[in-house]
Structure 1
């Protein structure tokens, strides 16, 4: 399944779609979890605990 939502929400641009699958560059990934949250196929799993997001919280 290729939808690209994860690519659109990734702050550090660590995701690209290759052969209809999300490929995550672990050297760029900040483990924010945005990609996993928007994936309709539940295809992205982030190891816990998540790293804290730097800067002001977008949820406050």
Structure 2
């Protein structure tokens, strides 16, 4: 149950970061660094989620049949 919560929380954070980058892009009109930082944060979260999924499968927290 904990792994499901972590996965959903990470996905919400990834989507939130994506929308914040869109907001920064609109407000700064492509001239600021905030968009790049938000997208870098999103990529970092995506990689972290991927690593957590792989570790969860390896240690048996995620069964072979899925969550």
TM-score, scaled relative to structure 1: 0.25
Higher helix residue share: 2
Higher strand residue share: 1
TM-score, scaled relative to structure 2: 0.24
* Higher-Rg member (1/2): 2
Structure scoring higher RCO (CA < 8 A, sep ≥ 6) equals 2
